[in-house]
Amino acid sequence: MKTIYLDNNATTQVDPAVFDAIKPYFTELYGNPSSMHRFGGQVGVEIKKARAAVASLLNCLPEEILFTSCGSESDNTAIRSALTAFPEKRHIITTAVEHPAVLSFCKFLEKKDGYEVTYLGTDEHGRLDMEEYKAAIRPDTAIVSIMWANNETGNIYPIKEMAQIAKDHDVLFHTDAVQAVGKVPIDLKDVPVDMLALSGHKLHAPKGVGALYVRKRTPFRPFLIGGHQEGSRRAGTENTTGIIALGTACELAQKNMNEENTRVRALRDKLENGLLSAVPNSILNGDKENRLPNTANISFGYVEGEAILLMIDQVGIAASSGSACTSGSLEPSHVLRAMDVPFTFAHGSIRFSLSRFNTEEEIDFVLETLPPIIKNLRKLSPFSPEKQGLGL
Amino acid sequence: MWEYTDKVKDHFLNPRNVGILEDADGVGEVGSLACGDALTLYIKVHDNIITDAKFQTFGCASAIASSSALTELLIGKPVEEAEKLTNKDIAEYLGGLPREKMHCSVMGQEALEQAFKNMRGEAPPQAEHSHEGELICECFGIFDEEILRAIKENNLQTVEDITNFTKAGGGCGKCIEDLEKLLAQAKGESVCETPSSEPAFPAQGMTNIQRMHLIESVIDNDVRPPLQADGGDIKLVDIDGNEVVVQFLGMCSGCPSSQATLHNLVATKLNEKVDPDLIVREV
Ligand code: FES
């Protein structure tokens, strides 16, 4: 059975071109870029090219890019660096809908190290309130960390405006752009963030590589201390194949950006509109306007997410559920709860996230198979809109 | 992701005995939409033998499989034997459940108990929260008696176990300390009591799910009994922000003074015991 992979916000297929580009660096060209000899040196040259490719995608300087092991490391490093650089500042601003790489880390800092954290809330569409944000900034705010795009709903936040406000108050601004990089244009000459995190495996590079952008002249304190790699800002022998892969993936992303924003978006819209009209009592979660072109988060009322997920898995469709059952915790997704999605719907939410590898036939197949599955699950359920008297 | 036995998968994909038994002798309802799983169990008894059982379940794969397994276990059994069924039997029948899904089997056991009570006229189909005990986990509305029983019957050793079997502790985590105390208590260790101070409006500072459970328990404990005494009933339909949606049942539905009841009883109780800002609407 062929898998129809609609879970690209979780991870992506390594692009075959990326895979080809890195193969020799596992076997013939395995030198250590820090070595003095030519054998290592030639790998060093490739890392330089990769750095330039990442910088080009973000429109920043190559020396502003640090390679890391993943998005989480980039996020943690950025926040920790700001706190270490300004030890007297004890306040952090973030949102209630961040990825755990930021959210759990902030909760940890709050609990274990006594930092004060403001978690900005959202409205029912997952949008942030600018006035609430402005009011939260204090003289002792060390850093603001707000994601560029949300992994569950795809919502894109007004990062340019928010970073500018932080700058006006002399506060460092970090953005977790893991879901945005490669999907929407990012121009760091135009958006005044100080730090930005990205991750390789969300844009068709392998898992285990990420990058952190640190704007020139931003105070920075390394997290990993040891050798002189990455300009002494991140010690540890480079993940050379991962870095070269990330560079190639960034080049391809730049080339394919247009497709992501037109063809992929059109497929997503077809899927979304098709499901919403075929399945009664289904709703779209998130901001209809400002959203990643590849993400649709749909709640099917009166059915539970894991059950849907496993049923569609039977026919080869891979998606993700915001239902708590699949994540080990029992409360529905913190993002949907922050948006006050009614419980009737929150438990039955499914996230579809596409990539440039998805085809129209795949979407047609989902539109054909999924609505009857929901219908069958609803037949099993003691609840229904009619029984609840909602007449939805 | 499929950490389920083949038997669980089979019962999830091909659930047996789905539906409603119109002429059931006993009906047991547990769980709610808000909790993420709920089960309605119907049993038919003839000459002290369970001749038929059907179910409707809202929940994850293991909740559906547990319900299906339960009905299979019940059909053909004498009542005395069926009464001894526990969650362990359900889990065993399925070849085991992942530990974090054991609460699904517990839900089956509870629904069965409710169905028998209902058959004997001791309880309405929907479980009444007429607990003597103390509410421990506000997120999932779980009382100490239920937790102690789960510890004892399943020989639970850790707080995580308790969460897997009862859901208590799986939300905000505020009740973890109390769970530790109960665990110690069950093991016979002594624990010292710390006095608790109740806030003026308990809902302030609560997570959504906690608040929802408080609303549920106020409706069950303060609102339903007087209505039931008059041959009516009320049901919580949904909670959306500050709006609580309810439905009148029995004598109350269509009763000319239901609007007064809505304001004088339902809204007043909820505003006083949960949150002064709650608005109650009837469907
Ligand atoms: S009160 Fe038990 S988890 Fe929240």
Percentage of chain B exceeding pLDDT 70:
87
B226 pLDDT exceeds 90?
A: no
B41: closest chain A residue by CA: A382
Is the CB of residue B176 below 6 angstroms from any atom belonging to ligand 1? no
Q: What is the pLDDT of residues A199-232, one digit of tens each?
A: 999 999 999 999 999 999 999 999 999 999 999 9
**Beta-carbon separation of B239 and A343 below 8 A:** yes
Instruction: Considering only the beta carbons, identify the residue of B29, B33, B60 that sits closest to A307.
Output: B60
Q: Give the residue among A248, A344, A337, A340 at the shortest CA–CA distance from A18.
A: A248
- Decide if A382 and B57 are in contact by the 8 Å CB cutoff: yes
Q: What is the DSSP letter of A15?
A: P
Task: Work out the mean pLDDT of chain A and round it to a whole number.
Answer: 94
A304 chain-B contacts, CB cut-off 8 A = 36-37, 58-60, 63
Whether the CB-CB separation of A302 and B53 falls below 8 Å is answered with no
Name the E strands within chain A: 4-5, 65-68, 91-95, 116-120, 141-145, 172-176, 195-199, 210-214, 282-285, 295-300, 317-318, 320-321, 349-353
SS3 of residue B69 by DSSP: helix
Cα(B4)–Cα(A304) distance, integer angstroms: 17
What one-character DSSP code corresponds to residue A7? B
| Per-residue confidence (pLDDT) for residue B197, from 0 to 100 | 38
The ipTM assigned to this model is 0.84
Amino acid B116: pLDDT: 95
Between A153-162, A325-334, B194-203, the lowest mean confidence (pLDDT) is in B194-203
Nearest to B70 by CA among B26, B21, B16: B16
Residue A125 burial (C-beta neighbours within 10 Å; 0-12, 13-18, 19+): middle
Of B110, B38, B120, the C-alpha closest to B79 is B120
pLDDT of B73 higher than 90: yes
Q: Judge residue A45's burial from the number of C-beta atoms within 10 Å of its C-beta, 0-12 exposed, 13-18 middle, 19 or more buried.
A: exposed
Highest mean pLDDT among A334-338, B74-78, B235-239: B74-78
Whether B172 is a known active-site residue: answer no
Catalytic residue among B35, B139, B175, B252: B35
Question: Chain-centre distance of CA B108, in angstroms?
Answer: 10
Mean pLDDT of A291-310: 94
**By the 8 A CB rule, do A183 and A293 touch?**
yes
Confidence bin at B193 (pLDDT 50/70/90): very low
* pLDDT score of B124 more than 80: no
The pLDDT value given to residue B279: 84
> How far is A203 from A260, CA to CA, in rounded Å?
11
Q: In A, what residues contact B, Cβ < 8 A?
A: 302-307, 309-311, 313-314, 323-326, 328-332, 337, 340, 342-344, 347, 379-383, 388-391
Describe chain B by its helix, strand, coil percentages, rounded to 5. 45, 20, 35
Tokens of B18: 């789905």
Per-residue pLDDT band for B198 (boundaries 50, 70, 90) equals very low
**Paired strand residues for A349:** A299
Query: How far, in Å, is the centroid of ligand 1 from the Cα of B175?
Result: 5
Q: Check if B170 contacts A (Cβ < 8 Å).
A: yes
Mean pLDDT of A97-116: 95
Question: CA–CA separation, B239 vs A344, rounded Å?
Answer: 9
- Sequence-distant (6+) residues with CB within 8 A of B80 are B48
Instruction: Tell me which residue of A150, A45, A39 sits closest to A102, measured CA to CA.
Output: A150
Got the DSSP string for A116-162?
Answer: EEEEE-B-TTS-B-HHHHHHH--TTEEEEE--SB-TTT-BB--HHHH
| B29/B114 Cα distance (integer angstroms) | 7
What average pLDDT does this structure show over B87-116? 92
Asked whether the beta carbons of B106 and B150 are under 8 A apart, the reply is: yes
Q: How far is CA B84 from CA A201, B79, B89, B90, in A?
A: 52, 9, 9, 12
Q: Inspect the interface and report whether the beta carbons of A332 and B36 lie closer than 8 Å.
A: yes
Is ligand 1 within 6 A of the CB of residue B173? yes
- Map tokens 């929802």 to a residue: B212
**How many residue pairs bridge chain A and chain B with CB atoms within 8 Å of each other?**
103
Q: What is the pLDDT of residues A306-357, one digit of tens each?
A: 999 999 999 999 999 876 555 555 667 889 989 988 888 888 999 999 999 9
Q: Is B236 left (phi over 0), alpha (psi -120 to 50) or beta?
A: beta
B186 touches B152 (CB < 8 A): yes
* pLDDT at position A234 over 90: yes
Q: Are B232 and B250 in contact (CB under 8 A)?
A: yes
DSSP states of A40-72? HHHHHHHHHHHHHHHHHHHTS-GGGEEEES-HH
Residue B185: the pLDDT is: 85
Backbone phi, then psi, for A341, in 5-degree steps? -65, 130
- For residue A334, the CA-to-ligand 1 centroid distance in Å is 15
Residue length of chain A: 392
DSSP state of A297: E
Residue B140 Cα: closest atom of ligand 1: 2
Q: Pick the closest to residue B252 from B268, B269, B266 (CA basis).
A: B266
What tokens does B113 get?
A: 């108990």
| Residue ID of nearest Cα to ligand 1 atom 2 | B137
- Tens of pLDDT along A258-276? 988 999 999 999 999 999 9
A365: helix, coil or strand?
helix
Burial call A264-282: b when 16+ CB within 10 Å, e when fewer = bbebbeebbebbeeebebb
Please determine, for residue A384, whether its predicted confidence score (pLDDT) is greater than 90: no
